[in-house]
Amino acid sequence: MPHPAPIESPLSERELVLVRETDVPREKLFAGWTTPELYPQWFCPKPWYVTDVEIDLRPGGFSRMTMCGPDGERFPNAGVYLEVVPNEKLVFTDAYSANWEPNPNHFFTAIVTFETLPSGKTRYTARARHWTKEACEKHAAMGFMDGWGKAFDQLVELMSKP
């Protein structure tokens, strides 16, 4: 079921923004983003999925997983958390991997926020900030809005279960 999409403008030509509102409390959405065992159930739009999820949830901590496609594709992903505010905000980047090892093929930094609105709903905002306009355009062409939107829908479905 489609979710209303509040309008939120990117801050620059190097940013993509996805905004959604849901009845799922922000604490549950945050838990989905921070519990390794839950990632395979929602993180990629199906039929894609993730395996080998490891999370060290703290500023400077690492995140590792492998994105897997329906035709056997495997894409390892690693990064570090720059900011962690429980139930409110996650900032992570692929510019580094564990121990601040620089990634020569860095792509973006993500800022994911969870805000409780006066209505009681949760506003979920995912920002992808890229180093170049070309990288941003590539991410958009890869299907950022559709892919991250479907992943959000899967997260909401998962975290709505009793």
Torsion of CA 51, 57, 63, 66, to 10 degrees: 10
Instruction: Write down the domain spans for the chain.
Output: 19-160
Query: What pLDDT, on the 0 to 100 scale, is given for residue 156?
Result: 97
What phi and psi values does residue 35 have, to the nearest 5 degrees? Answer: -110, 110
Task: Select the CATH number that applies to the domain covering 19-160 from these four: 3.60.20.10, 3.30.9.10, 3.30.530.20, 3.40.50.1970.
Answer: 3.30.530.20
Query: What pLDDT, on the 0 to 100 scale, is given for residue 72?
Result: 94
Query: What pLDDT, on the 0 to 100 scale, is given for residue 98?
Result: 80
Q: What is the pTM of this model?
A: 0.89
Query: What pLDDT, on the 0 to 100 scale, is given for residue 138?
Result: 92
Query: What pLDDT, on the 0 to 100 scale, is given for residue 8?
Result: 55
Contact 63, 84 (CB under 8 A): no
Q: What are the distances in angstroms from CA 104 to CA 36, 88, 90? A: 26, 30, 23
Per-residue pLDDT of the chain (162 residues; tens, 9 = 90+): 444 444 455 557 889 999 999 999 999 999 999 999 999 999 999 999 999 999 999 999 999 999 999 999 999 999 999 999 999 999 999 999 888 889 888 889 999 999 999 999 999 999 999 999 999 999 999 889 999 999 999 999 999 987
